[in-house]
Chains A and B, each alone.
Chain A
Amino acid sequence: MRTKLARRRSEGLIPYLFLAPWMIGVLAFSAIPIFTSLYLSFTNYNFVGTPNWIGLRNYITMFTNDPQYLQSLKVTFTYVFVAVPLELAFALSLAMLLNRGISGLGMYRSLYYMPSLIGGSVAVAILWRQVFGEDGIVNQALGIFGIDMPSWIGTPSHAVWALILLKVWQFGSPMIIFLAGLKQIPNDFYEASSLDGAGRWKQFAHITLPMLTPIVLFNAIMQMISSFQAFTPAYVISEGTGGPVNSTLFYTLYLYQNGFGNFQMGYASSMAWVLFIIIGVFTWLAFQSSNKWVHYDN
């Protein structure tokens, strides 16, 4: 009896032994840093020396006395709520096109997926600087039609659009997921509706879109989360300034400027926690709203 118990106890420990390497990794590289940053957000800390406890001061300063912070929120919200819907619409349209049984689907799929693989990279951001510059390809193309545009990245009202377009251009991964979703929709639905005289648009509105809603929700949440955290394109295109006139001052870029430019790590940590809460709230809202529009057939 007793031996059995002892054995059971030791058996109970074995899984933890196997888990240990992973647990240590999570603690050392995720959990401890995360909670450290929470503590730092209530201090002012300049990297060296000891953090001083200042309570909620960072959080209060942010919302009451830092116009650049509010500007960074505005830029980021504009970016997320314009770029993500555009990107999803674009990804869905292309997925629909590719879903029409064309030959060489694999090739097109890979081709259209390419921008997603490279779109977030520094090299492409540098390319984008050129493309949307004063004498870039975009302006030269518009020039053919007699449209005279200033430098996109050099004009405050246009600069964020260059970044939005860069995001939309990375439509590859939602497109692939939409494509998989489209393949799941049984053909019977389309056949039955054609017999009832439904046209293309009706089919799209009443069959395709409702059947795809779970996938739209998934894509929307994933893209929203990654867009809130976008950093590289804005950093490279504005040379780390978020200019001109803070028109591309993404939240993460401003956070970086505070942490690594000013060595105000406490302030940067509190910004990071607010971003975490913002992303959490919007993800929660997306799930809450899904009861109203997402259609699960079960």
Chain B
Amino acid sequence: MAWWGGQARHEMMNALLDKFEEKYPYITVEREFGTENQFVEKLNTQAAGNNTPDVVQTSSFFLHDFVARNIQMDLDPLVASGEINVSDFSKEDLNGGKVDGKLYMVSFGHNITGVIYNTAIFEKAGVTLPKNNWTWDEYFNTAQQLQKYLGKDAWASEDEGGTFRGFDNFLMQRGKSMFNGKDLGFEKQDLVDWYAFWDKMRKAGVVPPASIQAEQGDKPQEQSMLARGKVAMISKSSNQLKIYQKSTQDKLAIVTYPLGAGAEKAFPLIIAGAGISPDSKHPKEAALLLNFIVNESDAATIFRGEHGPQASKKMQDVIHSSLGEPEKIEYAFVDEILPATKPYPAMPAGSTSVQKLVLTENQAVAFGNKTVEQAADDFFAQAQQILKR
């Protein structure tokens, strides 16, 4: 089995697999792990040489690409034979693991992008706490009120015009998505609106200047501006709340991503899970392992909702009483919003570079090298060229 993650996850997975081997002494699970970037590179190389691990971790971001390139097999026969039991799964988790109506990924847990905010700053600034399903206008006004209190060296929010996950949310509300097959699934005006909003935020001084935002990049949680009290709000996956909370004394909370006026109330659901390789010589044992991870209370106790609330309510109940405060906030948020989610849209090969373009062109606007219009034009020209190679 191969998975990605940090040291804490590796230890947890090892404990989990030890437990599995204890229960099924005739099976030994070989373990391969690395960071997320290395994981995909290594997996590709293995797939090219036809020696993919039997059980492969995947997520909404990789699923469609892995299926298109035949790195994952259709699990429906294993479900039909009862070897993988998904009867306790929420329908959102089931749908999120499907491609063209067939199940390829068994969900280990789900999360939703929301705005994680520092309640202490809100209280000190005397600003009302945000509520779920707030709008972009409310977000902007809240940021301005916070900025009055924050002054010069801290900001209401990070500049998120360059985050493709934010843009994915924005597009889903408009009934569109970043990609449509090997093409873009939105119009130039959508991107102009998106960049223009963040440009408005920059001009109002409620997000950090371009160079500080660029330097911040994607630093780990403990070095983030949120943890250091430099920003009051940042949009991240709901399962990150507990990790950020470890790095700050101030109480954090989470609220939905802002909605456009009259927009569809829809949020992309991010699922992390695993599938089985079509080359696997041991599909039955692989199915046994997947089933163990998602349906056995022994596993749930060790796994502790690593990737957010688990697909099976039964399994959530096993650990619910032992959850910490940040997890309780996270679970409450996710449970409330789950019915309004949709499966994460598909991403073709080449999507990584197109997602990077969202960042690069936003920076070009932030540094004053381009107007919003120019940035959107350049984005389209380059993105289409990348996808059509």
* Known A47-B48, A67-B382, A261-B353: A58·B214 in contact at CB below 8 Å: no
Nearest CB in chain B to that of A132: its residue: B215
* Known A49-B70, A244-B363, A263-B349: A154·B45 in contact at CB below 8 Å: no
A260 within 8 A of B: yes
* Known A49-B69, A156-B367, A241-B356: A134·B218 in contact at CB below 8 Å: no
B71 within 8 A of A: yes
Contact pattern, A 254-289, Cβ under 8 Å of B = 1, otherwise 0: 000110111110110000000000000000000000
B352 within 8 A of A: yes
B124 within 8 A of A: no
Partner of B211, one of A134, A257, A262: A134
* Known A243-B363, A262-B386: A151·B218 in contact at CB below 8 Å: no
Shortest CB-to-CB span from A169 to chain B, Å, is 20
* Known A67-B382, A239-B217, A264-B349: A150·B356 in contact at CB below 8 Å: no
Verify B210–A154 contact, CB threshold 8 A.
yes
Verify A246–B360 contact, CB threshold 8 A.
yes
B81 within 8 A of A: no
Shortest CB-to-CB span from B377 to chain A, Å, is 12
The residues of A that contact B65 with a CB separation of less than 8 Å are 263
Interface centre among A46, A154, A258, by most chain B C-beta atoms within 10 angstroms, is A154
Partner of B215, one of A151, A240, A246, A257: A151
Verify B350–A68 contact, CB threshold 8 A.
no
* Known A44-B389, A47-B69, A134-B215: A262·B210 in contact at CB below 8 Å: no
Verify A66–B385 contact, CB threshold 8 A.
yes
Contact pattern, A 127-160, Cβ under 8 Å of B = 1, otherwise 0: 0000001100000000000000011011110000
Cα of A134 to Cα of B210 in the assembled complex, Å = 12
The residues of A that contact B353 with a CB separation of less than 8 Å are 257-258, 261-262
Interface centre among A58, A156, A240, by most chain B C-beta atoms within 10 angstroms, is A156
Verify A263–B385 contact, CB threshold 8 A.
no
Verify B359–A262 contact, CB threshold 8 A.
no
Shortest CB-to-CB span from A8 to chain B, Å, is 44
Shortest CB-to-CB span from B219 to chain A, Å, is 8
Partner of B359, one of A150, A241, A263: A241
Cα of A122 to Cα of B369 in the assembled complex, Å = 31
Verify A61–B385 contact, CB threshold 8 A.
yes
Number of interface residues of A (CB under 8 A): 36
A117 within 8 A of B: no
Contact pattern, B 354-389, Cβ under 8 Å of A = 1, otherwise 0: 001001100110010100000000100110011001
Verify A154–B211 contact, CB threshold 8 A.
yes
* Known A44-B389, A241-B356, A245-B364: A262·B215 in contact at CB below 8 Å: no
For residues 182 through 218 of chain B, which have their beta carbon under 8 Å from a beta carbon of chain A?
209-218
* Known A66-B385, A67-B382, A262-B350: A241·B211 in contact at CB below 8 Å: no
Verify A48–B385 contact, CB threshold 8 A.
no
Cα of A156 to Cα of B210 in the assembled complex, Å = 10
The residues of B that contact A150 with a CB separation of less than 8 Å are 209, 211
Cα of A193 to Cα of B19 in the assembled complex, Å = 83
Contact pattern, B 31-42, Cβ under 8 Å of A = 1, otherwise 0: 000000100110
Shortest CB-to-CB span from B252 to chain A, Å, is 24
Partner of A267, one of B215, B217, B381, B389: B389
Verify B352–A257 contact, CB threshold 8 A.
yes
Cα of A58 to Cα of B215 in the assembled complex, Å = 33
Q: Pick 20 A–B contacts, CB within 8 A, sort by A.
A: A47-B44, A47-B47, A66-B382, A67-B382, A134-B211, A150-B209, A151-B211, A151-B212, A154-B214, A155-B210, A155-B214, A156-B363, A243-B360, A244-B211, A244-B363, A260-B41, A261-B353, A262-B386, A264-B350, A266-B389
Residues of A within 8 A of B (CB): 44, 46-49, 58, 61, 65-68, 133-134, 150-151, 153-156, 238-241, 243-246, 257-258, 260-264, 266-267
Closest 8 A/B residue pairs (Cβ): A154-B215, A154-B211, A244-B214, A261-B352, A154-B214, A48-B69, A151-B215, A150-B211
